[in-house]
Chain A
Amino acid sequence: MPSLKKPTLAVWKFASCDGCQLSLLDCEDELLAVADAVQIANFPEASRAVQKGPYDISLVEGSITTPHDAERIHKVRRSSRYLISIGSCSTAGGIQGLRNFANVKAFTNTVYAHPEYISTLKKSTPISDHVQVDYELRGCPVNKYQLLELLSALINNRKPVISAHSVCLECKMKGNPCIMVAHGTPCLGPVTHAGCDALCPSYNRGCFGCYGPKETAEPASLSRRMAEFHNVRKPELVHLYRSYNAVADEFKKESESHETD
Chain B
Amino acid sequence: MGTTNKALEKKINKKISKSVTSDFQIGDNFCIDIKELDSIFTALKEKSFDLIGPTVKEQTIAFDQIESVKDLPEGYTDEQSPGIYRVKKTDSKTLFNFTTGSNSLKKYLYPPHHTLWTASRNKGNFTVKENIPNLKPLAIIGLRACDLKAMFVQDRVLTQGEYKDSYYQLRRNSLFIVAVNCSRSVSTCFCTSMGSGPSVTNDFDLALTELITNTTHKFRLEVGSDKGLDVVKNLKFKAATNKELNDAKEVIKKTTNSITRQLDLHHLDVILKGSHDHKIWDEIGKECLNCGNCTMACPTCFCHTLEDTTDLTGSTAQRTRRWDSCFTIEFSYLHGGSVRTSSGARYRHWMTHKLATWIEQFDMSGCVGCGRCITWCPVGIDITEVAQTLRQTVLDEAHAVAWEEI
Contacts and interface: CB of A to CB of B under 8 A. Distances in A.
Contacts of A178: 85, 102, 293, 376, 378
Nearest to A179: B58
Given A161-B309, A168-B296, A216-B343, A221 B287 contact: yes
A175 B62 contact: yes
Given A164-B330, A169-B296, A156 B310 contact: yes
Contact of B59 (A30, A33, A183): A183
Given A33-B312, A177-B58, A221-B379, A229 B292 contact: no
Interface residues on B, range: 35 or more
Interface stretch (A51-59, A145-153, A241-249): A145-153
B312 A166 contact: no
Contacts of A183: 58-59
Interface residues of A, number: 48
Contacts of A176: 58
A215 B292 CA distance: 12
B341 interface: yes
Contact of A173 (B57, B113, B290): B113
B396 interface: no
Nearest to B320: A161
Contact of A177 (B57, B113, B328, B378): B57
A219 to B, nearest CB: 8
B328 A163 contact: yes
Contact of A165 (B59, B309, B314, B325): B325
Interface string B315-332: 000000011010111100
Contacts of B323: 169, 172-173
B83 interface: yes
A104 interface: no
A215 B289 CA distance: 11
B307 interface: yes
Contacts of A225: 83, 378-380
B291 A182 contact: no
Contacts of A161: 307-309
Contact of B328 (A30, A165, A173, A220): A165
Contact of B289 (A30, A184, A218): A218
B229 interface: no
A191 B312 CA distance: 31
Contact of B58 (A184, A204, A217): A204
Interface string B202-220: 0000000000000000000
B157 interface: no
B378 A163 contact: no
Interface core residue of B112, B286, B293, B380 (most chain A CB under 10 Å): B293
B84 interface: yes
Contacts of B286: 218, 220-221
A190 interface: yes
A225 B380 CA distance: 9
B95 interface: no
A165 B58 contact: no
B86 interface: yes
A70 interface: no
B113 A182 contact: no
Instruction: Name the residue in A172, A190, A218 with the highest tally of chain B Cβ atoms < 10 Å from its Cβ.
Output: A172
A201 B375 CA distance: 18
B312 A30 contact: yes
A152 B290 contact: no
A238 interface: no
A180 interface: yes
Contacts of B5: none
B375 to A, nearest CB: 7
Given A156-B314, A168-B292, A182 B309 contact: no
Contacts of B112: 172-175
B52 to A, nearest CB: 12
A182 B311 contact: no
B94 interface: no
Nearest to B101: A177
A220 B290 CA distance: 12
A190 B85 CA distance: 17
A181 interface: yes
A37 interface: yes
8 closest residue pairs by CB, A with B: A172-B296, A190-B291, A173-B112, A177-B102, A177-B60, A37-B312, A166-B291, A190-B289
Interface of A: 30, 33-34, 36-37, 148-149, 151-153, 155-156, 158, 161, 163-166, 168-169, 172-184, 187, 189-191, 204, 215-218, 220-222, 224-225, 229
8 contacts: A34-B312, A158-B310, A168-B293, A173-B322, A175-B107, A184-B84, A187-B378, A221-B287
Given A165-B330, A177-B58, A181-B376, 6 more contacts: A34-B312, A36-B313, A152-B314, A181-B375, A182-B60, A222-B379
